[in-house]
Each structure stands twice: as C-alpha cells, then as structure tokens.
Structure 1
Amino acid sequence: MPQLSLHTIRTLSKADRETGRLLPFYNGVSVNSQKVVPEGIFAAIAGYSTDGHRFLPQAAEAGARLMLTERDPEEVLAEIGRDDIGVMQVPDIRAAVAQLAFAYAGNPQYRLKIAGITGTNGKTTVSTLVHQALTKLGYKAGLMGTISVAIGSESTESRLTTGDPEQMAEAMAAMADAGCTHLVMEVSSHALDQKRTDAINFDVAAFTNLSHDHLDYHKTESAYLQAKKRLFDGLSTDAIAIVNADDASAAEMVRDTQAAVWKISMAEGGLRVLRNDARGIEFEMDNTRIASPLSGHFNVYNLAMAWLMLRAFGCTAQNAASALQSCSGARGRLERVPQPVPEQAQGSGPTREAITLHPLPEVFVDYAHTPDALRNVLETLRKMAAQRQLTVVFGCGGDRDKTKRPVMGHIASGIADVVIVTSDNPRSEDPDQIMRDILAGVSGGSAETHTETDRRAAIAQAISQAQPDGLVLIAGKGHETYQEIRGIRYPMDDVALAAAALQKRAETARATSSQEQPASRKEA
C-alpha cells in the first residue's frame, strides 16, 4: 500500500508550522471526513458552502492522524482535543491537496499525454470528439468530463465536470495501468479556481468560448475569465494552447501563457465553411477538408478545435480529419430523438402507410443551459426549420446563477414560435419561482408562451401539440437521466420521454387513420 512520507508532505504542501503527534508516514489525503482512512490526512478546507473545520472531530474519529489547515495549528489541535493527532499549517490548502493526492497515487499524470478543454460551452462535445477520434485511430485513451469517466471503451457516470484531486488521481492511475497513453478532460472554472488541477502538467489546453454562466459562484465576468485563464497561465513552453480566436476573451486567455498558441478563426480567414445544413458540416482548415454528420455553426468551431487537438497530439492532418468524419459527438448535444419504427402490415397492426399519412415532428434534446448555448442551438434549428414551427421546452437549474434566467427567457421567446417553460433541476429552490424568473424576460417576445411545472407533462404537451412538420427542442438537461429535487435525484431522461411521446402520437394517428378508412378499404 502506498504511503506519503512526512518529508514529502512537508515539501509538497510547503508547510509553515506544525504541532501535535506526527507520524513518519501517512495513508492518503481527503477533503471529506467520511472518506479518510486509518492514519490518513484530512484537509480542512473552508469551502464555498461549508467549512471543513467543522468536521475535524469526525475525521479524527474515522482514523485521520494528520490535519491540514490554513489556520493556527495550536488552536486547531485544541479544538480537536486529542493527543494522538498532528496538525500542519499550510499557506494554500487547495494547492497542497492537489499535490498530495497525485503524489499518493504515484503521479499518474506523468504517464499520460493530457489535453484539457475549458470554456462556457462546447467542452463536452470537443472532449468526446477527440476521445472518439483517438479510439478510431487505434489509441487507448481516457476521458474525464460532464457525462462520464472513460478508460478506453469502458465508462462510468460522472457527477462533476472536473472531479476532486483524489478522484482524478485515482482515475488517471487506473487509466495508465490499463494501458492508456492519452487523456482528454474537461476543465471547469470551479476546478481551476479551487486549484484541483494544479498538479497536472497539460500537454494541450483548449479554449472554446466565454459567455454568461456561473456568476453565482464567480460573482463577476472578470473573475470567471480569470479562473479559466489559470489553465493557460500554468502551461509550460513545451505545451500547445488552442483558442477560438473569434471569441472576445481569447486574447486575454492566452496573454500570459508560455505555450505555443494555435488559433481557430473564421473572421481571420483560417477556417472556411463549405457546407452547414441538416445533413452535416464540411469546412476547410489549413488546406484540409473536414466533414462531420454534426450540424450547427457552433459545431464548426467544436470540430475545428477537436481537429487541432488531434494534430497537437501528433496525428496527421488527414488521419485526424478521417477519424472525425464518423464521430457522433456527445449524448444530449443536439441529439435527434429517433422516430417510432413503423410495423409492417399484419393482422390488425399499424401499417407503414398510416405512418406516411401522419408525419411526426422532429425532436431534439440538448444540454443548452446557458444563454449563449440556448441561442446557438435555437438559431441552428431555426435555419433548419425555415418556415416550419419551432417549439422549445426548457427551464433553469436551481441554486445556480439566477441572473441568466430572464435572459434565457428573452432568447427563447425571440427565436422560437412556441415556448414551454418548465422545471429543470430545481434542487432546493421552488420550481415555480424559477419559472417566474424566466418569464420576466419573455415579455415582449413574439412567441406563444406556456408554463408547465411537471417536465414530463411539458415534453408530452410540446410533442402532442407540435405541427406535423415542426421541430421541437427540449433543452437544459441533455444527457442527464435524473431530475434533482431537494437533494434527491429522481429518474428522468429527456430522450426517453420524448421517444415515448412520439410513440404515443404515432399510435394515436394510426388509430385515427384506421377509424377513418372506408369499410371496403379495410376489408381489402
């Protein structure tokens, strides 16, 4: 079993003062008092919503024998009231935890080529595309992000965009042990601000875009930008930074980086779109044509970034383009819900002819939960819809940035023909109040607006009432298979709900068609 020596702990944490009973070796580090191990280290972090110092007695009871703190170690030891505990004061406890967690895991980050992607929107799509492409090119790669943590083709569900240092170090060790050579990971602004990734030396870092989000945490757009910027400030001279130069924050993002900077830009002429419609995308960059089944202006940037990241990993231009051509991207990102498969005519069953006579609306599910993302997806579907009816179902998450709610209501009502405001993940908030916050921005829009607190009912309503040739967007939750209400995650899958609503509409149409057929035709 690996251990951390007292010398290593002192060195990596840059300890200032210490007191109490100190052991020569310790068994790992944790910021969760429920996860400490016997003779382990507990880091008492004064966090965003709770103070780890409150749990010092529980950590000691669970077996922690060294406490890390930024406070006076003598006072902390007195609070614990035990003589078998050591306390160490460190100047930056979050940075110390990152270094110690990775050291305890054997520093697996040095056994992988690592790419990190940050930005408000597009992180999941880009990371998934790169992971899928690397796999197609024969590499065994890891993936860490909003949807899952994957080792090669095996994946487990993820609960955070970027995990805590212990989780990341453990996952990277498993990846390296399994033979992975590359890792693609999403890097959130929270993780960067909390220094969770400080022990990672990124070979490649990418910036997608920056827009309104997470102001409940960062308070200002400037602080949000500076958090993202930390990814690039920490790059070495051997690393490569890739930025969407058409975003207003791109120049500031890489202003202080030591890495080589690669840019993506339509405005500067380096990226030329050849086709962007419902059938997919084709564009040219650096004399290479790249095609994809994905749609949308925003996906041109996502694909271009994925292609450059593959190039930064050492893939040839053509191999990277060929691999991306068959990549599907991430679940819940402009995902088309399959239409019901008509049964062949037999007995009294439905017929293919009945399906043809009663077309169904096209339904898409997307994770868009920020103003910019919602606008991008709606504008993409608006172009696809042309003169057809466009319906959007969406809500906003509770205990998150409240200022974006009316903004998203304004965007939805300005682009869609029908808006159904519903519940997202209300968490501890009243879902009806969240909906009222959204509706405050809808006034003045041209859309027909409805409210329905029950998300299941809202999805069913949208699909049952949409015009036969219309488009329906269900936004906000994407890949998620739950709805979080007051700390409990209840099963809920937008794709499954939409598929069931389409099936019900198809069955109703077939039944109606059967009843309306002339008797002679039925007998024939």
Structure 2
Amino acid sequence: MIKLKDILYKVSLEAVTGSTDITVNAIHFDSRKVEFNDVFVAIRGTISDGHEYIEKAVENGALAVVCEEMPENVINGITYVKVNDSQQALAFMAANYYDNPSENLKLVGVTGTNGKTTIASLLYQLFTKAGFKVGLLSTVQIIVDKESFKATHTTPDSLTINSYLKKMNDAGVEYCFMEVSSHGIAQHRTTALNFAGGIFTNLTHEHLDYHNSFAEYRDVKKRFFDELPASAFALVNVDDKNGRVMLQNTKAKKVTYALKSVADYKAQILENDFGGLLLKVNDQEVWTKLIGHFNAYNVLAIYAASELLGLSTLESLKLISELDAVSGRFQYVISEGKITAIVDYAHTPDALQNVLETINSIRTKNEELITVVGCGGDRDRTKRPKMGHIASALSTKVIFTSDNPRTEDPDAIIEEIEKGVEPQNFKKIMSVTNRKQAIRTACQMAGPKDIILIAGKGHETYQEVNGVRKDFDDLKIVTEFLKELKK
C-alpha cells in the first residue's frame, strides 16, 4: 500500500480531479489487470489507445486514473490525473512504486543496432566470474543473480524493469547490465532509471518500420546519452561516425573505443580463426573464444566498461579469456563429416555482412559457404533486398527461406529479398519457404569442410506464423540433420 501522491513524485501534472492523498495497491496500464484500489495509466500504443479503456478500468476497481486526456464522464470518488505524456509518467511512477531500485546498484545500459545482447550478456558473465552478484536485462533472458526469467522484449516496460531491479536489490545484486532498445528509449521505458554508464555499439539500418527516418532513429539513441547523469560514463565506438554524435550533449564522462580510429581504448586483431581471437588491447594481449572482427569490438567495449566500473586491467583480461559465446551469437557445431554449421542472430544487413565477412576471412576459399536466411514479417521491408544482395554476394550458395513471417505471406517476403540479388549471383540462389526443409537442404548440399550459416533467428526457439509461436530451434535442427545424414 502506498500513497498516490508519493507515486506521482517527479511526474509533471497538468490537472488533478479528486485527491492524491489516497492509498493505492498497484499500478497497471492494462485495464484487464486492474483490481480494487489500483491506479490505471492510460497509454496511447501503436495498436490500441488506453484512454478507451478508462471506464473498464474503473469498473474493475481502479481508484485513480492517469491520462493525457480527461474522460467525458468523470466519476465521483475517482481521482483523475492529467499529464502531458503517460509513458513518461508511468516511468516515474514505476520507479517510485518500487522505491527507485536503480539507485541501489550500478546499472549500465547498452544501446546500438548490433552487439547489445552480446555485450550485456558477456558483462554479466564477466562480473559474475569476478565474484559479484549481477543482474541482466536482455533480449535472451532476464537474470537476477543466478535466477533466470524469460524475456519478452529487448527493453521491457517500466513496471517490469523496476520490478526486476527491486528483485535485484532484495538479492543483493551490485551490478546490472541492460539492453536499451530505440523503442524503449522512445517510449520512456528507461526514463527515471539511474544509470552508472551507457555503451554505444554502432548504428545501422534497423527499425525504420517504427522510426520515420534514420535521423530520428539516431536521435532517439542519442537521447539516452543526453539523459545520463554527470556521475555516469558514456562509452562509444568512434569507428562508427554516430559515436561522436552520441557524446555531443551528454553530461557523462566521455570515453571512446575503436579498432581503426584514435580512441581511449584501442584493439588490434592479431589472429582470427574458428578457435577464437587473439587481440592486442591497449598494449596488452588477450585471447578470447569469441570469433570475428565484430566480436573484437564487443570484447573492447567489455574491457573498457569493466575498467570504468573498477576492475583492474589484469583481472579484466583474465576474465575475458574465460568468456563463453552468447546463445545464438556465432554458435557453431562441427559434424563428424567436418561440416561447420553456424547459427547467428544476424537479422540486419550490417549484422549479416559482418558474419559473412568474418567467415570469409577465416575460410580458405576451397570450401562452400552455404547461407540460409530470411527476413521477419511485419517489420522494416526496405532492408529485405539489401539482405538478399549481401547474402548472395558473400556466399557461394544461398537458400532464401522463411524467418518469422508473422502475418505476412512468407513467399512474398522471399520475393522482396530476391529483388536485391544482382544478375551475376542468380545462379547461386534458391528458395525453400519451409525453414526446416531449407536447413535440411543446406545439410544435404554440404560436403566435408563446407560451412553452413543459418542467419536471422539465433537464440529464438520459436517461429511465429499468424500470431502462433511454434517450437523451432535452428541450432537443434541443424545438429539433428547433420547427425541423421551422417555428415
């Protein structure tokens, strides 16, 4: 039980009807979850408008309503609070309700198009190995110390974030690493959180189905750094030209990392093969099981962040050499017949190019590189031909297939992907709409020492078709086919 006026601390109020000196139970933005003496926050979403459910929330027992527009029928005895932005209000309310849990640990946000999951997950792994109690909020999973929970969004809603951070406080967690998506920033899910640091990885073609332009997408990411406190650090990749943009208005301590540019933290790739990477990081050599030049950036970011958070150079380097690959990120199996099958989450043009270039930099060119790839439905359509172009240009054979078609026709998605294939690469491509059959076909085509890349879904263990999620695990399926075919 908590006073409404205490939950509304720091919320910019435009008008209040009724008393805020009332005791309430819980906060909800879904009217179906509202119970007696709860607060309902009406949020305008992309699919529905919470203002249409105010009456329903009151019927379910809401004692107070927070909204951007007062309802026509104001019911006596109910408190109505008008705000300019309900999502922003919810962020402050959630933090207040859970007693501002982000202030009781060191919270680090990782944002950018690619690398968020890898960096956040590896930092969780590293600080756990260093002997700390650590939390993780990621696309793959949410972890409170050693207890794991299923993740539903890259950046959960404000109530969910703060409820997990409170769990972390109760468990004695000292550090928490969190993926911060552009959607999460745009919808104020990270507002009211106290960050000890922010990391920027890179910015490429993604989420233009949600953001109106690349500039808007970039500026949303920048807002995260603009809002960091002076006590925090802002660690950015300056090999990406947008890295310095992120630092323009931040009050945080500015720190840079790069492989090619002048930076505070520099790395050089000394060796790169399927066994791992040998790097020279600020004049210190470190070996890691992670593979590929894109992981050199991830390792560098992890090293820099660990130092900024107080670990010594030698401890950081030692722990980096012990880190394991993240689920669905360049995970690979080698069959009895010496076929290497790689599963990777690459679902953007840049990520796919990175993975394919990494494989090509390691392979001897005497083997086939067979890529199985598709694009998700109900998402940015403009990237589809780009994915087709990259896959066909950088592979010896390509099988276009279904990803998560959602409500779209998978064959129509594949046709859009194929539009990016240049005439000289037509002979390399084929289409197999059924993803399982596409993976099987790749296994049948492969011979000893050949490499199969299955891109797009990575850690996901489902395929979503017309709102229904069915079990589907790329790594499990390719492993079974390679065994079955005795390859």
Q: Which residue, out of 435, 441, 444, partners 2:423?
A: 444
SS of the residue 1:161 aligns to:
coil
Which stretch has the larger CA shift, 227-236 or 274-283? 274-283
The one-letter amino acid of 2:344's match is D
Q: Which residue, out of 472, 483, 497, partners 2:452?
A: 472
Hey, what's the Cα distance between the residues in 2 that align with 1:165 and 1:445? 50
In the alignment, is the contact (CA less than 8 A) between 2:7 and 2:97 conserved in 1?
no
The one-letter amino acid of 1:187's match is V
2:295 is aligned to: 299
In the alignment, is the contact (CA less than 8 A) between 1:385 and 1:470 conserved in 2?
no
SS of the residue 2:254 aligns to:
strand
Map 1:354-365 to 2 at 5 A: 359-365=337-343
Hey, what's the Cα distance between the residues in 1 that align with 2:166 and 2:101? 5
Question: How far 1:278 sits from its partner (Å)?
Answer: 1.9
In the alignment, is the contact (CA less than 8 A) between 1:296 and 1:377 conserved in 2?
yes
RMSD of the TM alignment (CA)? 1.5
Question: How far 1:272 sits from its partner (Å)?
Answer: 2.0
Hey, what's the Cα distance between the residues in 2 that align with 1:289 and 1:77? 67
1:345 is aligned to: none
In the alignment, is the contact (CA less than 8 A) between 1:22 and 1:85 conserved in 2?
no
2:306 is aligned to: 310
| CA displacement 1:242-288 (0-9 Å, x = unmatched) | 11110011111111111111111222353222222222112222233
Question: How far 1:22 sits from its partner (Å)?
Answer: 5.8
Q: TM-score, normalised by structure 2?
A: 0.96
Q: Which residue, out of 352, 355, 360, partners 1:382?
A: 360
Is 1:457 the counterpart of 2:453? The answer is no
Is 1:24 the counterpart of 2:3? The answer is no
Hey, what's the Cα distance between the residues in 2 that align with 1:445 and 1:58? 60
Q: Which residue, out of 252, 276, 286, partners 2:282?
A: 286
Map 1:374-453 to 2 at 5 A: 374-387=352-365, 388-446=367-425, 448-453=428-433
1:47 is aligned to: 45
In the alignment, is the contact (CA less than 8 A) between 1:275 and 1:282 conserved in 2?
yes
Question: How far 1:408 sits from its partner (Å)?
Answer: 0.4
Determine what percentage of the aligned residue pairs are the same residue: 38
In the alignment, is the contact (CA less than 8 A) between 2:327 and 2:458 conserved in 1?
yes
Question: How far 1:444 sits from its partner (Å)?
Answer: 2.4
Q: Which residue, out of 268, 272, 275, partners 1:276?
A: 272
2:234 is aligned to: 241
1:83 is aligned to: 76
Map 1:125-524 to 2 at 5 A: 125-268=118-261, 270-337=266-333, 339=335, 359-387=337-365, 388-446=367-425, 448-506=428-486
The one-letter amino acid of 1:428's match is T
SS of the residue 1:490 aligns to:
strand
The one-letter amino acid of 1:16's match is E
Hey, what's the Cα distance between the residues in 1 that align with 2:411 and 2:401? 8
| CA displacement 1:327-350 (0-9 Å, x = unmatched) | 1131000000353xxxxxxxxxxx
Structure 2 unaligned spans of 5+:
none
Which stretch has the larger CA shift, 28-37 or 364-373? 28-37
Structure 1 unaligned spans of 5+:
340-354, 510-524
TM-aligned CA distance change 1:256 to 1:445, over 3 Å: farther
Question: How far 1:20 sits from its partner (Å)?
Answer: 4.8
- Bigger radius of gyration: 1
In the alignment, is the contact (CA less than 8 A) between 1:414 and 1:445 conserved in 2?
no
Hey, what's the Cα distance between the residues in 2 that align with 1:325 and 1:445? 42
Question: How far 1:485 sits from its partner (Å)?
Answer: 1.2
1:118 is aligned to: 111
SS of the residue 1:99 aligns to:
helix
Hey, what's the Cα distance between the residues in 1 that align with 2:220 and 2:34? 29
In the alignment, is the contact (CA less than 8 A) between 1:29 and 1:42 conserved in 2?
yes
Number of residue equivalences: 482
SS of the residue 2:46 aligns to:
coil
Which stretch has the larger CA shift, 15-24 or 121-130? 15-24
SS of the residue 1:34 aligns to:
helix
Question: How far 1:442 sits from its partner (Å)?
Answer: 1.5
The one-letter amino acid of 1:363's match is A
Q: TM-score, normalised by structure 1?
A: 0.89
In the alignment, is the contact (CA less than 8 A) between 2:279 and 2:296 conserved in 1?
yes
Question: How far 1:9 sits from its partner (Å)?
Answer: 4.0
The one-letter amino acid of 2:362's match is M
